[in-house]
Copies of this chain bind each other. A is one copy, B any other.
């Protein structure tokens, strides 16, 4: 029923933009369905019909914001590429906005689609790095191993053990997952 690029896509874009603007102008507490609807030029019932409630809308907006903006940097080698990416991943996800987005994404997500999308973004970035390594003829672990051994421990500490995060942590995890040459 949803035509990509049609009215439905325009409503989504207007509502997402309204959330971002309202939050930037007036802070988190300004985010109510009536205020967002007024800013987006739609009725509150349009929002309720499409998103169910505010929490689900905020989850969708958060996932959009967690979408990587560019492919991972190419430093010419697997270890360097993975270290740079994991360091940036930690930095972004553990920042106050990053934590808020992860929280929002997990919360208003009854069917797990948005959480799955967060993980898919990480997997896509790792895939690019591993494909480059393969093209260079470097031995490389598979995506699942990098998710288990690098992405998961970083995310676990961000969510459950913020006190045990340090800037050298991603590099230590990467060193353990790269095959010896």
Decide yes or no whether A147 CB sits under 8 A from chain B.
Answer: yes
Count residues of A near B (Cβ-Cβ below 8 Å). 23
Question: Which residue in chain B gives the minimum CB-CB distance to A162?
Answer: B112
Could you say how many copies of this chain the assembly holds? 2
Main secondary structure of the interface of A (DSSP, over half): helix
Complex alpha-carbon distance, A103 and B103, angstroms: 9
Residues of chain A in range 81-132 having any CB-CB distance to chain B below 8 Å: 103, 106-107, 112, 115-116, 118-119
A118 and B160 within 8 A (CB): yes
- Which of A13-21, A26-34, A42-50, A151-159 is the contact stretch? A151-159
Tell me which residues across on chain B come within 8 A of A152, comparing CB atoms.
152-153, 155-157
- Out of B106, B148, B161, which one reaches A119, CB within 8 Å? B161
* Contact A148/B159 with A103-B107, A107-B103 known, Cβ cut-off 8 Å: no
Decide yes or no whether A65 CB sits under 8 A from chain B.
Answer: no
Tell me which residues across on chain B come within 8 A of A22, comparing CB atoms.
none
Complex alpha-carbon distance, A107 and B105, angstroms: 11
Tell me which residues across on chain B come within 8 A of A155, comparing CB atoms.
152, 156, 159-160
Complex alpha-carbon distance, A156 and B162, angstroms: 15
Complex alpha-carbon distance, A151 and B160, angstroms: 11
